Amino acid sequence: MRVSTYELYVATLAYHPLSPLVLSRGVDILPHQLAALYGDYEEHHKCPSPIPHKVGGLLRAGFPVNALIADETGLGKTIILGLFILSLLLRGLVRNIAIVVPKAIVGQWQDELLYKFGIYFKTIERGDEFLDLVNDLKHGRELRFIVSIDLIK
């Protein structure tokens, strides 16, 4: 069996742990974002949050993964999630992705994930658009969408 240089490159890129960092565009990664993605190497994580927690690293969590990323405004949830999704997509570990955010930032999330990570997500803005998702599911299509918390309620 002969492996082409291209196939070797793609396999290396898909499984290299830093590939999401290399493939992202215009993203300045902060230390807490790296810790959320890869894990904190310190034995006791010293976070200034009033709620103590240990950062385990999303990419070390095991699979299947259902993740809830919730934090204060402006701490980089979009960046962490974009890197995480990109890593999972490169490895073929995820097929369907639903992102639920406040209504005011649905478009912002769509724009940032497309611009910074090259990942397109459909936005769901009306209840009848969920019917289209059901049809897509029946036909085996991938589902990647962003929906507001208010619409889910």
* pLDDT of res. 63: 57
Residue pair 90/13 in contact (Cβ under 8 Å)? The answer is yes
pLDDT band at 40 (very low <50, low <70, confident <90, very high): low
Count Cβ neighbours within 10 Å for each residue of 76-109 and write b for 16 or more, e otherwise.
bbbbbbbbbbbbbbbeeebeebebebeeebbeeb
For the chain, the 3-state helix, strand and coil shares in percent, each to the nearest 5, are 45, 10, 45
* pLDDT of res. 26: 76
pLDDT at position 51 over 70: no
* pLDDT of res. 31: 73
Residue with tokens 């919730």: 70
* pLDDT of res. 88: 82
Q: pLDDT by residue (tens digit) across 81-125?
A: 888 888 888 878 788 888 888 888 899 999 999 999 889 999 988
Percent of the chain with pLDDT over 70: 65
| Distance, CA of 142 to CA of 110 (rounded, Å) | 17
| Distance, CA of 107 to CA of 95 (rounded, Å) | 22
DSSP alpha helix (H) spans, the chain: 5-15, 19-23, 31-38, 77-91, 106-117, 129-138, 149-152
Residue pair 98/107 in contact (Cβ under 8 Å)? The answer is no
| Distance, CA of 59 to CA of 33 (rounded, Å) | 12
Q: pLDDT by residue (tens digit) across 63-74?
A: 556 666 666 566
pLDDT at position 13 over 60: yes
pLDDT at position 15 over 80: no
| Distance, CA of 85 to CA of 79 (rounded, Å) | 10
